[in-house]
Structure formats: C-alpha cells, structure tokens
Amino acid sequence: MKDKISPEIAKICPTIPILTGPTAVGKTSTSIELAKMIDGEIVSIDSRQLYKYLDIGTAKPTLREQTEIPHHLIDLFEPTVQVSAGEYRRLAIDVVEEIVSKGKTPIFVGGSGMYINALVHGIFKDSASNPEIRNRLMAEIEEKGNVTLYNRLMDIDPDSAKKIHINDAKRITRGLEIYEITGKPPSQHFQTQENNPAFPTKIFVLTRERSKLYKRINLRVNQMIEEGLIKETEDLLNNRYRSAMDELKTLGYQEVIQFLDKEVEHNIMVENLKMNTRRYAKRQLTWLRHQLDAEWIELQDSDNAISIAKKITNSLKS
C-alpha cells in the first residue's frame, strides 16, 4: 500500500489543515465553517470515530453536520477491529487522493495524537503487528485489568505511558506489543524515526483558558448523558462487544460500565466522567505542546466558529 499520496495528486494538493486541540474545545463547529469557506471535506482523525455504534461517547458529528459537509473515516469498522496508526495513515492517503481529485480540500479534524503523528511524521520502520501477541495481551487485560499492564508499560517506557489514559486498553497493549516485537520501547522508536509526511499539512491547535475549557467539558458530559450515553453503552454490552471491544475501556464508556455493573452510583459516575475527561484534556494539551509544530489559536468568549475559521483561512493563504 502507498505510504504517500501519488505524484499526480501531489502536484495539485493544497496545504491540508489539521484542526486539533483538547476535547470539547470547539473543533467540530469550526471545521464545518472552515469547510464552507475553502470548499472542503472533513476527515476524522479520531481513533474511536472509525467505529460503528460509538456515537454519543465519541462526540461524532451529527447526521445534520455530516449531511451539510461530507465526512470521511467515520463508521468504517466493527468495534472488534483494531486499527493501527499505520493502517490509519494508509486510509487517510486514499481519502486525500479522492477529495483532491474532486478539486476540494481535505480538512483533518480530531485529537488522536497517535494518528496525527502517523500523518505528519510517519511510521517507524519496525512498526509491525503480531495478532498472537496482541490477543494474549488483551486476554491478560481481561483477566488482570488495565492497571497491571499499564504499570508494566510504565516500567518499560514511562515516556509513552504518561501520554496514555489508564483506561485506554488499546494503546496500552499496543505499546507492550511494540516492545515485545522489537525489544525497544515505543518512545525510542519515535525519537529515532525520520520525518516522512504523507502530504503537505499545517496544524492548528485550538485551545481555551483552562477554567472555560473545563466548564465546556462539564456541559458536554451532561449533554452526553441526556442524549443517551448510558443506553448506547448498554446496547454495546448487549451486542456482546464487552469482551471483544477494548474501545469500551476508553474514556466515557468505562465510567458508564462501572455504573451499569453497580460499582458506583449515578452521580458518582457523572462526576468521574467529568473528572477523567478534564484530566484527558490536560494530557492532550501537554502532548500537543511538546510533540507538534503548530499554530496555536486561543479562543475567546467573543469568538465563534465563523471567526475562528476565518483566522485559519487567512493563515492558510499566507
């Protein structure tokens, strides 16, 4: 499979914006307005929006938003499938070629650092997968829980572990899988890899003053509960995805599962979800500051999606 866009597409490919930033900062609404201004189509760069049935918990664009502007790399796989950063990169290259060939501009939107890295820096040459090792590690997580394997990764590679949520079984097992295959911690691979961008990009990080961002996160959690996050999680469990789908162990679903298992009361579940999401946003910002060469845009109360999109448009032109 291709590792970069084809030479023919490269000749006409514009600089492709990547809109990222912490959860709940306002990426989706901004991307919609930006797409209108530059005749663009949106490509999700969210590792969970690739999956079917994970709608409310991943804050997928609404059907109205997806109808208004074409969206890509959403709802492609069953939750049982694991999609590596390398696989995502190849999917993204195909989508970029499709969009550019229509005379439109791709706009990548999302906060999955692993996937952003794959697009702008490339995949290290030893980035292989071993289903046998992966399945064994997943079985061990089922038996012993996330904490045991997270602590193992912390011992092996604290730099990588610090960037991963303790409930993110997918990335924990991937880190351990890379170590078992190559004998080297993932962070060592990333430090030595050569930059190999898939296509020309410019990264924009949207951010807000911390207390205002946290207020938006709390409001989003309330909205997700009102929209049916508990029912969505119940349906996933009833469809026998519990044992097979490590995505359920990521932020949002894990807290609800604890409630459904009667381990916590409803109010505690909501507070845990808010607290863990705020912590996740803080880690996202830390990673973005240290890992990416990007233009930062601090959003003010007076800003709206249109004004932010105009700033990005002007920056792309310059």
Number of residues assigned to the chain:
318
CA 79 from chain center: how many Å?
Answer: 15
CA distance 33 to 309: 6
- Within a domain: 281: yes
Q: Is the same domain home to 148 and 283?
A: no
CA distance 238 to 224: 20
pLDDT tens digits, residue range 54-104? 999 999 999 999 999 999 999 999 888 878 888 999 999 999 999 999 999
> Three-state secondary structure along 149-210?
HHHHHHHHCHHHHCCCCCCCHHHHHHHHHHHHHHCCCHHHHHHHCCCCCCCCEEEEEEEECH
CA distance 154 to 160: 8
- Within a domain: 303: yes
Q: Is the same domain home to 252 and 145?
A: no
Give yes or no for a contact between 48 and 58, defined as CB atoms under 8 angstroms apart: yes
**297: β partners:** 206
Provide the 10 A C-beta neighbour count for residue 129. Answer: 14
pLDDT tens digits, residue range 224-243? 999 999 999 999 888 877 76
pLDDT value of residue 1 = 57
Q: Is the same domain home to 176 and 151?
A: yes
Assign 213 a pLDDT band (cuts: 50, 70, 90): very high
- Within a domain: 84: yes
- Within a domain: 216: yes
Q: Is the same domain home to 166 and 82?
A: no
- Give helix then strand counts, H and E, for the chain: 15, 6
Dihedral angle over CA of 153, 244, 123, 103, nearest 10: -140
Q: pTM above 0.75?
A: yes
- Within a domain: 2: no
CA distance 33 to 35: 5
Q: Is the same domain home to 32 and 181?
A: no
The CATH code of the domain that includes 300 is 3.40.50.300
Assign 246 a pLDDT band (cuts: 50, 70, 90): low
Q: Is the same domain home to 258 and 174?
A: no
- Within a domain: 1: no
Q: Is the same domain home to 283 and 228?
A: yes
- Token output for 33: 């307005």
pLDDT over 90, % of the chain: 61
Residue 163 has pLDDT above 90, yes or no: no
Domain range enclosing 249: 7-123+193-317
CA distance 104 to 35: 9
Q: Is the same domain home to 115 and 67?
A: yes
Q: Is the same domain home to 64 and 110?
A: yes
Assign 185 a pLDDT band (cuts: 50, 70, 90): confident
